[in-house]
């Protein structure tokens, strides 16, 4: 860190320095336009902020004269601390990436504990790969094949309610898959920027296919109107459009009974999928509660969940 301590920097400029630090860590690049757009400041003020950041952490960034932007150096070390939830929220919803300080709830609140939050440095490399549209070389621990080296082409983060994944093209298996981020180690951006058309998000049929699910109160419930009210159903039904690639996760997370004759009896099943035919062709049905008890088994492709 340089000679000017952060304690001597005013709050407004600390927020802009935090933004620079965040962009470098998770996107691998930052420029004046980022600051001008985000904070509504003049270009000259943005230049001063970048100069101050260089004073504080001169080894964190180098200037790319061709791209006219600052890029993350090989010696980068963040000068701000932030939690996994803060980083994930900023990356997924565009909120809070410029916040400096500790997060505190405004009212009493409690959320379920996440047992396997992604390591920050792993998440940073994955998000850089997505942002820069570059392949990523990783060591990956799979339940089906153990530890192996993969080259993947990530394009989106996915929260399945239990763990964070990255949706990516797997060059080894030549297919799109979901990779659990907390199973990734030693990620490295591939030097080449070359991405084939069949490796892009546009080529992922499961990602681009939208499934309309008709959810109704489970027929076994004594008071179905309770569920109708809770979920804001219209005419006794909730229509939800989701990507086929995440359908299995959603159905499992919401405990939706997907059996043909609403056969599941657990107290957790408040919803039943009425239009089961919408699941034809969905690849991760192995995760959908009750899928194995009905006729979809003989007509659907081999189900797959996370890798």
Burial bucket for residue 196 (CB in 10 Å: 0-12, 13-18, 19+): exposed
Contact residues for 112 (Cβ-Cβ < 8 A; gap 6+): none
**Measured between alpha carbons, how far is 69 from 3 in angstroms, rounded to an integer?**
24
CATH of domain 120-203: 2.30.30
Cα–Cα distance between 29 and 21 in angstroms, integer?
A: 10
Inter-residue contact 74 to 125 (CB < 8 Å): no
pLDDT the model gives residue 115: 76
At 281, list the tokens. Answer: 């062709």
Name residues whose C-beta falls within 8 Å of residue 179's C-beta, 6 or more positions apart in sequence.
138, 140, 150, 152, 154, 165, 166, 168, 170, 306, 307
CATH class of the domain comprising 6-93: mainly alpha
Residue length, the chain?
307
Beta strands in 5-145 (DSSP E): 29-30, 61-64, 69-72, 136-142
Per-residue pLDDT of the chain (307 residues; tens, 9 = 90+): 444 578 888 999 999 999 999 999 999 999 999 999 999 999 999 999 999 999 999 999 999 999 999 999 999 999 998 888 888 878 887 755 555 666 655 555 566 667 788 999 999 999 999 999 999 999 999 988 899 999 999 999 999 888 899 999 999 999 999 999 999 999 999 999 999 999 999 999 999 999 999 999 999 999 999 999 999 999 999 999 999 999 999 999 999 999 999 999 999 999 999 999 999 999 989 899 998 644 444 444 444 556 7
* Alpha carbon distance 258, 262 (integer Å): 7
**How far is Cα 249 from Cα 285, in angstroms, rounded to an integer?**
9
> Boundaries of CATH 2.30.30 in the chain?
120-203
Distance (Å, whole) CA 306 – CA 249: 9
Q: In DSSP terms, which residues pair with 256 in a beta bridge?
A: 271
Could you tell me where in the chain the CATH 1.10.10.10 domains are found?
6-93
pTM confidence score? 0.81
Q: Can you tell me the distance from the alpha carbon of 169 to that of 174, in angstroms, rounded to the nearest whole number?
A: 7
């Amino acid at each position: 860190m340089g000679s000017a301590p952060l304690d001597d920097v005013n709050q407004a400029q600390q927020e802009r320095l935090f933004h620079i630090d965040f962009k470098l860590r998770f996107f691998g690049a930052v420029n004046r336009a980022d600051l001008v757009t985000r904070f509504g400041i003049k270009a000259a003020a943005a230049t001063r902020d970048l100069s101050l950041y260089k004073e504080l952490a001169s080894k964190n960034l180098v200037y790319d004269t061709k791209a006219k932007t600052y890029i993350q150096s090989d010696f980068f070390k963040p000068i701000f601390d932030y939690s996994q939830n803060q980083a994930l929220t900023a990356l997924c919803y565009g909120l809070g990436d410029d916040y400096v300080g500790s997060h505190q709830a405004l009212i009493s609140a409690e959320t379920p504990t996440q047992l396997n939050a992604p390591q920050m440095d792993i998440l940073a490399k994955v998000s850089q790969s997505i942002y820069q549209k570059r392949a990523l070389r990783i060591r990956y621990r799979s339940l089906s094949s153990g530890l192996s080296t993969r080259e993947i082409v990530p394009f989106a983060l996915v929260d399945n309610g239990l763990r964070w994944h990255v949706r990516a093209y797997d060059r080894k298996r030549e297919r799109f898959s979901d990779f659990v981020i907390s199973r990734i180690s030693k990620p490295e951006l591939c030097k080449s920027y070359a991405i084939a058309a069949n490796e892009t998000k546009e080529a992922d049929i499961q990602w681009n296919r939208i499934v309309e699910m008709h959810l109704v109160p489970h027929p076994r419930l004594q008071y179905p109107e309770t569920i109708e009210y809770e979920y804001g159903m219209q005419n006794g039904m909730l229509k939800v459009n989701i990507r086929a690639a995440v359908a299995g996760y959603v159905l499992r997370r919401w405990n939706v009974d997907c059996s043909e004759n609403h056969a599941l009896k657990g107290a957790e099943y408040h919803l039943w999928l009425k239009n089961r035919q919408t699941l034809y062709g969905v690849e991760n049905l192995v995760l959908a509660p009750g899928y194995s008890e009905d006729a979809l088994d003989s007509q659907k492709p081999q189900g797959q969940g996370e890798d």
